[in-house]
Amino acid sequence: MKKTIISLTIVAILTLGLVACDDTTKKESSNEKISSGEVAKVKVEEVKEETIEINKNSGEIAVSGEETIEVNNNEENLVVEEQVEQKNKDYTVIKFSDMYETKNKVKNVSTMLKSLNGKKVQIKGYPAVQSPLDESFVYLNNQPFVTCPFCTIGDITKLEVIPIFMADGSKIKYTENAISVIGKLEIAEKVDSEGYTTQFRIYADKVEEIKDSNANKAVNDYYKTLSERGMIYDIQTLQMNIEYASNPEYMKYYDEKLQNGTSKVMDQVAVLKAISDEYLGYDSQYGGGFNSGYTYLDYVKECPEIVKMCEPADERLKTLNNELVKLYEDEIKILEKYQDICYKINALGNNLNTQNAGEFIKQLQELNSPNMKQYNAFTQWNNKLRE
């Protein structure tokens, strides 16, 4: 049973509203219901230092191991030193998971966030590396060392990052540390100076760095190690590449006729050739050159072992490190299927036609759901890292 132990002198007793009798020969006790704005008043026999035990779960108060006094406990209203009443704050604390909701696989601004439009909120996060160089604002993310704040899949409306501006127009310096932001939330679609369209932003009255606890320092050191090895960027890039080749909406990106507006029917043959060529060409940076996709697959297959080498001493982080290894292993299975399709398309060459193209399109689209599942798992992994 969890207990809060508070050792008190007569001064401390008075501070907590536990009023000691000035006559040491008297012994009185009173029990008052604890509710909003009230505290328990207990008169104690001794003027000496006493030990008061407050059991948060049962609402019992015990004095020096003596008689237990029952009080009506409401966890939200129990007044103890280590708790601060949230209702006394003039802002609402929000998290990144509060910013959007998903319906029919489409992300939208959450109902909760819409209800806070024009109101003051607080959020904690990390400035993205790719924030504007002129320091006019920062993109705030849920994890540190993010290079591209919008390298997320299934999120064309950019709902997993929030721009932060100073309300007075002053600059915000980039930092690798976590920051706390308090300011007015605005819900409105706008294009920023970097060319990105975002659905919301905060005009901050206060931005300050958060002094990391030892636990947070361990998390940041671990995340930085992964980032320096490229493990965060690589899995994001891998998931993005598969997303663009498997999401029907993104397939339009490869269709020049559709992009130019000359046709509303996707040229499947042209799309498949573009997907295959881009994948095989993208692989050339790993030394194999065109038509050497297995070089990329071999590289990605090394990533789980690299992640294992990043294993920290902290037991909780060890567990999360093992989860990241599993995320890579599962994503590799999807990449193997994707690569196999690209090679078959490339092997057909001019024999690729509208008849067999439809089957390849179907196979690619079937990869979208498991890839999205992996991306969501990676997002949850990031969230658990900060808990």
Instruction: Give the pLDDT of the chain (387 residues) as one tens digit per residue.
Output: 333 333 333 333 333 343 333 443 343 443 443 333 333 333 333 333 344 444 444 444 444 344 443 444 444 444 443 344 444 578 999 988 888 887 776 778 999 999 999 999 999 988 887 788 889 999 998 777 666 666 666 555 567 789 999 999 999 988 878 899 999 999 999 988 887 888 899 999 999 988 766 667 788 889 889 988 888 878 888 888 898 899 888 888 788 888 888 888 889 999 999 999 888 876 444 444 444 556 788 889 999 999 999 999 999 999 999 999 999 999 999 999 999 999 999 999 999 998 899 999 999 999 999 998 998 888 788 778 766
**Residue 188 and residue 236 in one domain:** no
**Predicted confidence (pLDDT) per residue in 313-326, tens digit:** 999 999 999 999 99
**Residue 206 and residue 251 in one domain:** no
How, if at all, do strands 100-103 and 106-109 pair? antiparallel
Question: Are 222 and 314 contacting, i.e. CB atoms less than 8 angstroms apart?
Answer: yes
Indicate the residue among 146, 179, 211 that finishes a domain. Answer: 211
Q: Sign (positive/negative) of CA torsion 153, 154, 156, 160?
A: negative
CA angle 371, 325, 221 (to 5 degrees): 115
**Residue 247 and residue 326 in one domain:** yes
pLDDT of res. 368: 93
Tally of domains in the chain: 3
**3-state secondary structure at position 262:** coil
**Predicted confidence (pLDDT) per residue in 36-93, tens digit:** 333 333 333 333 334 444 444 444 444 434 444 344 444 444 444 334 444 457 899 9
* 363 within some domain: yes
* 80 within some domain: no
- Name the packing angle between helices 354-365 and 315-348 (round to 10°): 180
Indicate the residue among 41, 70, 99 that finishes a domain. Answer: 70
**Residue 204 and residue 222 in one domain:** no
**Residue 245 and residue 280 in one domain:** yes
* 82 within some domain: no
**Residue 181 and residue 103 in one domain:** yes
Tell whether pTM > 0.75.
Answer: no
pLDDT of res. 105: 66
* 83 within some domain: no
**Residue 291 and residue 172 in one domain:** no
pLDDT of res. 154: 55
**Residue 69: phi, psi to the nearest 5?**
-105, 125
**Residue 230 and residue 199 in one domain:** no
CA–CA dist 165, 183 (Å, integer)? 9
**Residue 263 and residue 349 in one domain:** yes
Question: Are 62 and 80 contacting, i.e. CB atoms less than 8 angstroms apart?
Answer: no
**Residue 206 and residue 257 in one domain:** no
* 160 within some domain: yes
* 290 within some domain: yes
* 171 within some domain: yes
pLDDT of res. 170: 95
**Residue 239 and residue 336 in one domain:** yes
Q: What residues make up the domain containing 284? A: 216-386
Indicate the residue among 70, 99, 126 that finishes a domain. Answer: 70
* 244 within some domain: yes
Please give the torsion angle defined by the CA atoms of residues 113, 116, 118 and 120, in that order, rounded to the nearest 10 degrees.
-110
Instruction: Report the CATH number that the domain containing residue 166 is assigned in CATH.
Output: 2.40.50.870
**Residue 62 and residue 132 in one domain:** no
